[in-house]
Chains A and B, each alone.
Chain A
Amino acid sequence: MSVLVYTESLKGKFKKNAFEVASYAHKVAQDLGTTVTAVSFNAEDDASLGTYGVSKVLKVSDDSLTTFNAKAYADVLAQAAKAEDTKVIVLSSSADSKFLAPILSAKLSAGYVPNVVAAPESTSPFVVKRTAFSNKGFALTEITSDIKVIGVSSNAFGVVESNVSASVENFGPSLADDAFSVKSVEVDRVVGKATIADADIVVSGGRGLKGPENWGMVEELADVLGAATACSKPVSDMGWRPHSEHVGQTGKPVASNLYIAIGISGAIQHLAGINASKVKVVINNDPEAPFFKAADYGIVGDAFEVVPELIEKLKEFKAQNA
Chain B
Amino acid sequence: MSGSEGLVVEGLAVRYGRVEVVHGVDFRALPGQVTCLVGNNGAGKTTTIRGVLGLQSSRARRVTFDGHNLSGMPPHAVARRGIALVPEGRRVFADLTVLENLRMGAVRRSGGWRDTTTLGEVYELFPELSERGESRAGLLSGGQQQMLAMGRAMMARPEMLVLDEPSMGLSPVLVNRIYEALVALRDQGFTILLSEQNANLALELADHAYILETGRVVEDGVAADLADSARVRAIYLGA
Q: Do the two shown chains form a genuine complex with each other?
A: no
Chain B residues near A (Cβ < 8 Å): none
